[in-house]
Structure 1
Amino acid sequence: MLGLLPKKVFKVYISGTITDQTYTKFLKDLNKTQFIPSTPLAVVINSPGGSAVHSDLIYKRIRAYASINKVQVFTFAEDFAASGGYYIMCSGDYLYASSTLSLIGSIGAVSAIPNIKDFATKYGIERRYFSTNPLDFFATTDPLQDYNAEKSKKISSVLKEVNEEFKKIILANRKDKLTVGEDKRNDVIFNGDVFLANKALEYGLIDSIGRCDDVIKEKFPDAKIVDLSREKLFTRLTNAFKLY
């Protein structure tokens, strides 16, 4: 920023399970910045995770914003920045937990698939699935089909690939700050565990603990914090009377 302190700092919220709608809302909020360049960005995250794809898209869009505008990004974990939430958090140049009670991490990939074959059999429900590949992903995750070692191996293989991409993002952004040795990372921080803020700070998963507005005011005392996620009063009123 050429040594000049900004007049504004943009703030955007990402909350709840991360889906395509989360990404759409985020883009809508971020598009409000297009005519005001060179403004730092604060991203407040309160999410247990969700879609790996949309977590990655949000992450890349934040990094693109920082690169194009040549500004710093500050990310903050509120209650949760877990799994995809932490993935997005790593888009920041500086990572903060809003409270010592914030939960951070869950670095891994998970897939929960119910098995309702017995229920379907009891009520005469028959699933007919046709595919050129009996081990395609959709067939493998069909809740009406039996599981076997081969299917479990297929699912585990996909999850492992997703997890490796997650680890690459973290190492690209936090490698020099992680305090856990390479030989122990898989057992300590890349094992799906979540950590309270002080432990996350100890491991180098975050840089400090502090609320968004407090941190921004300390770094940029004269800057106005502009909440991009806050809808205007007129918009809120019209949305309240929408017909469905």
Structure 2
Amino acid sequence: MRIPDRLASRLPGRLGERAERPVVSLVRLHGVISSTAAPVPRSVINAAAVDKVLERAFAPGRLAAVALLINSPGGSPTQSALVADRIRSLAAEHDVPVLAFCEDVAASGGYWLACAGDEIYAHPTSLVGSIGVISQGFGLDGLIERVGVQRRLYTAGASKSRLDPFLPEKDEDVVWLRGLQDQLHEMFQQWVTERRGDRLKPDADLFTGEVWTGSRAVQLGLVDGLGTPRGVLGGRFPDAELVTVEGRKPLLARLGLGSSAARTLSPVDGLLGLAQAAEVRASWARYGL
């Protein structure tokens, strides 16, 4: 809550000084980027999950800047774009700078989020980049045949069952998928080029999906400098109060009922949750985390 200036001047000692200090909001964007619900609380980034957090981050009356603390191996390109667009919209509305900080990893969609910042900083050991598109799945047609299961699939439309994991892979389906990937990759490149501009190293091959350390990313122009949030923000805004803005816990968790609610999950829900958790874990494992 903002304290009006006329009241802040009347507060005693440090209370009055604190009320008049500029504010830098810290927003943690941690997790895989996905539209699906999180298998672990607050382990997934998407537009719905962070919208209210971002609104509160940009709300303080004495706001000097917003800092994004990013730790993400990527995920959904659509959710990456929606969150980044929301950040840029709020930054323009409130006319404040946004500084992005890469933690362990800001790769793929995580780097897309970082590019929502006007400036990007990383630790020398951060993993940055992976400007590319990846799709993954399983071919299960041999498995169901081996166990004697008959799958019956009925479609209207010749392309409705493209890349069905229970059907043999078709060359034309792979060509179609790679066409989609090329389009998404082009959008990713345009976003990075738009946001980083002439800071990108000329003639560097930056869009192969390669990942670099923070130290190398500085040389390539993917980030602006090395440093930690406290160090960079302390030097840039020495008088500011750093305020962490977090999402509110679900009602059941606030009432202490989260664990009992979890026990009501059906066995199928539990298996789906395990599968989703494994997929999330694999996303981090690609970067050795």
TM-score bracket, normalised by the shorter chain, equals 0.7 to 0.9
CA distance in 2, matches of 1:111, 1:6: 47
2:102 to 52, 69, 77: 77
Distance apart, 1:174 and its partner CA:
1.0
Amino acid at match of 2:254: T
1:175 to 153, 173, 197: 197
CA distance in 2, matches of 1:230, 1:163: 31
The aligned runs of 1:207-226 (5 Å cut-off) are 207-226=224-243
Structure 1 residue 156 corresponds to structure 2 residue 178: yes
2:29 to 3, 7, 14: 14
Per-residue CA distance 1:46-91 (angstroms, 9 max, x = gap): 0000111111111001101110011100001100000000000000
CA distance in 1, matches of 2:202, 2:248: 42
Query: Percent identity at matched positions?
Result: 30
CA distance in 1, matches of 2:255, 2:226: 36
- Report the number of matched residues: 231
CA distance in 2, matches of 1:236, 1:216: 36
Normalised by the length of structure 1, the TM-score is 0.87
Distance apart, 1:213 and its partner CA:
1.6
Structure 1 residues 17, 33: CA separation in 2 closer, same or farther (over 3 Å shift)? closer
- The structure with the largest alpha-carbon Rg is 2
Normalised by the length of structure 2, the TM-score is 0.74
* Corresponding position of 2:264: none
CA distance in 1, matches of 2:242, 2:252: 21
Structure 1 residues 231, 135: CA separation in 2 closer, same or farther (over 3 Å shift)? closer
Distance apart, 1:198 and its partner CA:
1.3
2:52 to 25, 28, 43: 28
CA distance in 1, matches of 2:21, 2:116: 20
1:113 to 132, 137, 145: 137
Say what the alpha-carbon RMSD is for the aligned residues. Answer: 2.3
Q: Is the 8 A contact 1:37 1:69 kept in 2?
A: no
CA distance in 2, matches of 1:63, 1:217: 23
Extract unaligned runs of 5+ from structure 2: 1-19, 38-44, 262-289
Structure 1 residues 6, 177: CA separation in 2 closer, same or farther (over 3 Å shift)? farther
* Corresponding position of 1:46: 71
1:134 to 145, 158, 161: 158
3-state SS of paired residue (2:105) = strand
Structure 1 residue 238 corresponds to structure 2 residue 254: yes
